[in-house]
């Protein structure tokens, strides 16, 4: 990993917040408390589809310490889309704060406020709800079957919430003319984001008509807009604050229980804290869309791809949330250039747990299907799978289908070369006489945009300069654990030429920090970082204007500005509107072995090389790759939301039943960032956040096909094989 000669950028700088986190002094949502605060809890539907016939709250209200119950009829008029995206026609409003027609097992029926979390639980257990169970549809085919009852007739007369379409050329003709055709249908499961910190909020609706929400959020300004709209208040009357956060992975890019908390608070006239349990986190927030993807690739004998046809169906669960935007984003991830490209993405309502934004935003599903088919195409063509990919891969100057801007930087070939070097050294290490070590490997290529592909990224920064030359950086961008505040400080330090210790960052508080679209789409370094670059340059410009000279020593220049006549307080401000969403790239190899005695598969190594532009912080990039690889491994190997056919209830309610890889399941991870520079990026940076998980499952699937000779059309692999990670001593 190279740092392009920067002083602060590209170093191993530890996170600014590390000390407070590791010493337990950091304040997460559950550490916050407001005066006279009460607690709230939600009664979730135990049925996948039902109608509430009666609610008896008498016993609960008689319990000392129970303050109030909020019922669906009290908030019936408010209909919204919970997505934390900027407004879009692709975000149908179909969700209520509480409902008396629950559409999934986990839907919000009512809420209680009490003096303690325990009293809330007791109150919920005393409330009698009489349900009429209704037929539930739990798969895409069932939901689209003729005659299936529409979950949201106000949005669509069927369970098809909408379709995203892209067309280039004549796909059917090109397929007929192609020498070779590969096609298949692939299935990927819904999976849970599993942030270590469950969703939490403290909501305070004061009598003067002002609302404060302190909570887990990736998009404080979108949350503010949504809550203001729901409460019919101007945005200046709503404040959303994000304390430290233990992960988001997309799930915090939408409202979960915040509206319930706000209206409970309004009802009782006191602040209300609500912290989800792990069960609520798994079953009543959002998951990655389960997908069914039918794909065809047509190619000539020389390996040139002539046509790609994708028909995707995504299970959005009970509510649309991000569903159509996820499909829109997925449609723009065709990494191989094809003259003829057709994409159809269908967003389908079912009575499953609601799907929403999750790391990858449609890309992991598509990459799995595409990369498995690419390997099969290579086999049909008797070509090396990497050679086939490199022959068709987009290059600098190309425009990815569905997008408008040409690629500025693409070092995929370098990623492939570096990955192969690592692989060859491992092959030498692992090779045993009489065994074909090469069969134990599977490859996948991928890309992920930097910032929203719809170019809705907008951020701003304010840098206030103190008399001693230290600075205070304010940004609306939310650090959810990925380390963006540290990277912003590094950028400001680099531009201003000061030490990192001279910078304090305040972020993601709508009352004191300037607007940022939100932490999603791997955009923080790029969109927020560009705003910081511009704000820092604005500081230097203002110093120049006040002092009448180029600042060479920052502290001395500041001192001079403060003493100048007329003196000047230096405040740098800037906003940045993304005009581009430059793709970052990755090449991933997975190594698995099969036990000859038992037939069991073991994952031993994952190689991932990335082109993320300038490496801003080596620790962070390494961490993103390792974390992404593990999340990708979970997707490939073991993770899935599972629903019981007898009860129509999801069974993956806790972290015993919902398996994510543990530290003991970590294969050897070999990571490398190749040298790259993105012209539109802050100091040459692109994204790293989502990219890293995307290709892993596909590489593992290709590896498994190579080892077993069987087609892998679905994830996770554990549905078909006994598969695990190589075990260390005393795991």
Size of the site for other proteins (CB under 8 A): 51
321 touches 83 (CB < 8 A): yes
Q: Which is nearer to other proteins, 59 or 504 (CB)?
A: 59
Segment near other proteins (CB under 8 A), from 539-547, 559-567, 678-686, 722-730?
722-730
Supply 375's token pair.
Answer: 């390997």
Q: Which is nearer to other proteins, 279 or 311 (CB)?
A: 279
Interface residue with other proteins, options 599, 668, 679, 710 (CB under 8 A): 599
Q: Coil, strand, or helix at residue 98? A: coil
Segment near other proteins (CB under 8 A), from 8-16, 234-242, 364-372, 595-603?
595-603
Interface residue with other proteins, options 653, 692, 702, 704 (CB under 8 A): 653
**Angle subtended at Cα 480 by Cα 476 and Cα 486, rounded to the nearest 5 degrees:** 70
Residue 2 interacting with other proteins (CB under 8 A): no
* Structure-token match 């408010």, residue found: 78
Q: How many other C-beta atoms can be found within 10 angstroms of the C-beta atom of residue 499? A: 14
Residue 307 φ/ψ, nearest 5 degrees: -155, 145
Q: Which is nearer to other proteins, 125 or 579 (CB)?
A: 125
Q: Which is nearer to other proteins, 52 or 615 (CB)?
A: 52
C-beta of 129: minimal distance to other proteins in Å? 9
Segment near other proteins (CB under 8 A), from 146-154, 247-255, 468-476, 661-669?
661-669
C-beta of 29: minimal distance to other proteins in Å? 17
The helix (H) or strand (E) run that includes residue 126 is helix 117-126
Interface residue with other proteins, options 36, 429, 565, 598 (CB under 8 A): 598
Supply 125's token pair.
Answer: 């257990």
C-beta of 131: minimal distance to other proteins in Å? 8
Residue 115 is given by DSSP the state: S
For residues 117 to 146, the per-residue mask of contacts with other proteins, x marking binding by CB under 8 A and - elsewhere, is xx--xx-xx-----x---------------
Residue 662 interacting with other proteins (CB under 8 A): yes
C-beta of 723: minimal distance to other proteins in Å? 8
β-bridge pairing 340-349 and 305-317: parallel
Residue 198 interacting with other proteins (CB under 8 A): no
C-beta of 141: minimal distance to other proteins in Å? 20
Interface residue with other proteins, options 482, 522, 652, 702 (CB under 8 A): 652
**Angle subtended at Cα 510 by Cα 505 and Cα 516, rounded to the nearest 5 degrees:** 75
Q: Which is nearer to other proteins, 17 or 602 (CB)?
A: 602
Question: Cβ neighbours of residue 279 under 8 Å, at least 6 residues apart?
Answer: 653, 654
The helix (H) or strand (E) run that includes residue 602 is strand 601-611
Supply 550's token pair.
Answer: 């180029």
C-beta of 293: minimal distance to other proteins in Å? 21
Segment near other proteins (CB under 8 A), from 88-96, 363-371, 640-648, 684-692?
640-648
Residue 651 interacting with other proteins (CB under 8 A): yes
Give dist(CA 567, CA 288) in Å, integer.
Answer: 55
C-beta of 598: minimal distance to other proteins in Å? 4
321 touches 355 (CB < 8 A): yes
Q: Which of residues 78-107 bind other proteins (CB under 8 A)?
A: 105
Q: Which is nearer to other proteins, 237 or 659 (CB)?
A: 659
Interface residue with other proteins, options 600, 668, 679, 710 (CB under 8 A): 600
* Structure-token match 């802050």, residue found: 682
Give dist(CA 93, CA 374) in Å, integer.
Answer: 38
Q: Which of residues 22-81 bind other proteins (CB under 8 A)?
A: 44-47
Cβ burial of 144 (10 Å; 0-12, 13-18, 19+) is middle
Residue 640 interacting with other proteins (CB under 8 A): yes
| Exposure on the CB side of residue 327, measured as CA atoms within 13 A | 30
C-beta of 197: minimal distance to other proteins in Å? 17
Q: Which of residues 259-318 bind other proteins (CB under 8 A)?
A: 277, 279
Q: How many residues belong to the chain?
A: 731
Segment near other proteins (CB under 8 A), from 116-124, 344-352, 414-422, 541-549?
116-124
Interface residue with other proteins, options 146, 428, 436, 646 (CB under 8 A): 646
Q: Which of residues 618-637 bind other proteins (CB under 8 A)?
A: 637
Q: Which is nearer to other proteins, 128 or 185 (CB)?
A: 128
Query: How far separated are the first and last CA of the chain, in Å rounded?
Result: 31
Segment near other proteins (CB under 8 A), from 52-60, 179-187, 389-397, 644-652?
644-652
What is the largest distance, in Å, between two alpha-carbon atoms of the chain? 85
Interface residue with other proteins, options 658, 674, 682, 705 (CB under 8 A): 658
Give dist(CA 685, CA 690) in Å, integer.
Answer: 15
Supply 662's token pair.
Answer: 């543990």
Segment near other proteins (CB under 8 A), from 174-182, 211-219, 319-327, 717-725?
717-725
Q: Which is nearer to other proteins, 98 or 561 (CB)?
A: 98
Interface residue with other proteins, options 661, 681, 682, 689 (CB under 8 A): 661
Give dist(CA 536, CA 492) in Å, integer.
Answer: 6
Interface residue with other proteins, options 141, 564, 569, 664 (CB under 8 A): 664
| Exposure on the CB side of residue 409, measured as CA atoms within 13 A | 29
Give dist(CA 518, CA 498) in Å, integer.
Answer: 28
Residue 495 interacting with other proteins (CB under 8 A): no
Segment near other proteins (CB under 8 A), from 162-170, 385-393, 495-503, 716-724?
716-724
C-beta of 126: minimal distance to other proteins in Å? 12
Q: Which is nearer to other proteins, 279 or 437 (CB)?
A: 279
Q: Of 33, 28, 30, whose CA–CA distance to 204 is shortest?
A: 33
Cβ burial of 88 (10 Å; 0-12, 13-18, 19+) is middle
Give dist(CA 560, CA 554) in Å, integer.
Answer: 10
Q: Which is nearer to other proteins, 366 or 697 (CB)?
A: 697
Supply 604's token pair.
Answer: 């031993």
Q: Which is nearer to other proteins, 93 or 659 (CB)?
A: 659
CA distances from 686 to 408, 491, 619, 677 (A): 11, 14, 16, 8
User: How large is the C-alpha radius of gyration of the chain?
Assistant: 26
C-beta of 156: minimal distance to other proteins in Å? 28
CA distances from 317 to 184, 313, 382 (A): 24, 12, 41
3-class SS string, 534-564: HHHHHHHHHHHHHHCCCCCCHHHHHHHHHHC
Binding site for other proteins (CB under 8 A): 44-47, 105, 117-118, 121-122, 124-125, 131, 277, 279, 597-600, 637-638, 640, 642, 644, 646-647, 649, 651-653, 655-659, 661-665, 718-725, 727-728, 730-731
């Amino acid at each position: 990993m190279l740092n392009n000669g920067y002083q602060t950028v590209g170093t191993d700088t530890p996170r600014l917040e590390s000390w407070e986190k590791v010493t337990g002094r950091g304040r997460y949502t559950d550490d916050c408390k407001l005066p006279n605060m009460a607690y709230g809890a939600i009664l979730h539907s135990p049925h996948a589809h039902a109608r509430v016939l009666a609610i008896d709250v008498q016993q609960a209200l008689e319990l000392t310490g129970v303050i109030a119950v909020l019922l669906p009829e009290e908030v019936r008029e408010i209909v919204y889309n919970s997505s934390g995206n900027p407004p879009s026609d692709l975000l149908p409003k179909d969700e209520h704060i509480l409902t008396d027609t629950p559409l999934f097992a986990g839907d919000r029926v009512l809420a209680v406020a009490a003096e303690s979390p325990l009293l809330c639980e007791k109150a919920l257990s005393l409330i009698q709800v009489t349900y009429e169970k209704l037929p539930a549809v739990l798969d895409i085919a069932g939901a689209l079957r003729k005659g299936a009852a529409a979950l949201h007739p106000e949005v669509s007369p069927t369970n098809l919430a909408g379709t995203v379409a892209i067309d280039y050329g004549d796909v059917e003709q090109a397929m007929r003319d192609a020498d070779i055709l590969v096609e298949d249908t692939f299935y990927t499961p819904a999976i849970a984001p599993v942030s270590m910190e469950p969703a939490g909020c403290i909501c305070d609706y004061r009598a003067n008509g002002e609302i404060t929400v302190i909570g887990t959020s990736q998009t404080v300004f979108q949350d503010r807009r949504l809550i203001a709209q729901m409460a019919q208040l101007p945005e200046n009357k709503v404040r959303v604050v994000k304390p430290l956060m233990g992960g988001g992975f997309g799930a915090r890019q939408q409202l979960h229980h915040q509206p319930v908390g706000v209206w409970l608070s309004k009802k009782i006239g006191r602040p209300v804290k609500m912290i989800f349990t792990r069960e609520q986190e798994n079953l009543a927030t959002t998951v990655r869309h389960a997908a069914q993807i039918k794909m065809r690739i047509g190619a000539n004998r020389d390996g040139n791809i002539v046509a790609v046809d994708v028909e995707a169906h995504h299970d959005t669960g009970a509510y649309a949330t991000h569903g159509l935007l996820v499909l829109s984003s997925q449609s723009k991830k065709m990494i191989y250039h094809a003259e003829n490209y057709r994409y159809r993405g269908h967003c389908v309502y079912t009575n499953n747990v609601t799907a929403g934004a999750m790391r990858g935003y449609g890309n992991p599903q598509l990459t799995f299907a595409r990369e498995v088919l690419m390997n099969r195409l290579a086999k049909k063509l008797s070509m090396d799978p990497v050679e086939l990919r490199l022959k068709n891969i987009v290059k600098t100057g190309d425009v990815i289908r569905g997008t408008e801007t040409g690629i500025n930087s693409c070092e995929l070939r370098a990623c492939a070369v570096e990955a192969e070097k690592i692989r060859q050294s491992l092959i030498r290490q692992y090779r045993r006489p009489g065994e074909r070590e090469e069969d134990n490997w599977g490859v996948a290529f991928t890309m992920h945009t930097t910032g929203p592909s719809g170019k809705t990224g907008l951020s701003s920064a304010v840098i206030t300069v103190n008399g001693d030359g230290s600075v205070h950086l304010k940004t609306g961008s939310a650090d959810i654990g990925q380390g963006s505040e540290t990277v912003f400080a590094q950028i400001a330090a680099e531009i201003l030429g000061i030490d990192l210790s001279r910078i304090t960052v305040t972020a993601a508080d709508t009352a004191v920090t300037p607007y940022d679209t939100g932490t999603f789409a791997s955009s923080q370094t790029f969109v927020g970082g560009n705003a910081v670059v511009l704000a820092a340059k604005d500081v230097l410009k203002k110093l120049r204007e006040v002092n009448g000279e180029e600042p060479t020593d920052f502290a001395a220049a500041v001192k001079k500005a403060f003493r100048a006549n007329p003196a000047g307080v230096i405040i740098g401000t800037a906003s940045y509107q993304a005009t581009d969403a430059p793709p970052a790239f990755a090449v991933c190899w997975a190594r698995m072995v099969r036990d000859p005695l038992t037939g069991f598969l073991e994952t031993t190594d994952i190689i991932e090389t990335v082109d993320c532009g300038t490496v801003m912080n080596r620790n962070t990039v390494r961490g993103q790759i390792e974390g992404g690889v593990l999340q990708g491994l979970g997707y490939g190997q073991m993770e899935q939301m599972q629903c019981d056919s007898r009860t129509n209830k999801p069974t993956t309610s806790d972290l015993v039943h919902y398996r994510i890889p543990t530290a003991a399941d970590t294969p050897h991870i070999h990571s490398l960032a190749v040298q790259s520079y993105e012209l539109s990026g802050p100091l040459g940076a692109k994204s790293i956040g989502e990219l890293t998980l995307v290709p892993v499952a596909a590489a593992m699937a290709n590896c498994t096909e190579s080892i077993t000779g069987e087609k892998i059309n679905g994830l996770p692999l554990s549905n078909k094989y006994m598969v695990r990670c190589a075990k260390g001593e005393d795991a």
